[in-house]
Structure 1
Amino acid sequence: MIYQPSLITSSAAWIAQQELSDAPGKKQRRVIHEEIPVQDIDPDLRKLGHHIKRCTRKHIRVHVPAMRGSEWSHFLRSLEISRALN
């Protein structure tokens, strides 16, 4: 059975072909980035990280606003730093 990719091809035929072949599945590799230095973190995001840390201690819910990828990495790094200091 030769598989011809098409928009109309059912996924069941493709799955059956993959089970018969010995090819391993493709794995997604994780990209490891360097740590962000403390001085480079945006001060507003550091304040938000400290605020969330205080609220979690008091068991208060916190709304995390939408962020871009770079802001999200700064925010997560600020949480790491604030939790490591305690």
Structure 2
Amino acid sequence: MTQNLTIHFPGKLVFGKGSLANLSDEISALRPAKVLLVTIKPLLEKLKPLIDKLTTNGIGVWVDTSIVQEPSFSDFNTLMQTVVP
């Protein structure tokens, strides 16, 4: 039997087998107008159902695949300059 582990500190971290399937519900419950999904290109096909469900729920999704290695503070700062007006 698989059990997901949920951590609240200060946000929420959920991981475990099948937890990706529940992510759209977790995000939708927060009622954001849009979300930023930072990922890598090989995972895009796996994330398509999540992106489609969020879009169907009226949530704008911005996908960024520009970081291709373990992210540095510089990578984070560059990404924030791109996504935060």
- Give TM class, smaller chain: under 0.3
Higher relative contact order (CA 8 A, sep 6+): 1
More strand by share: 2
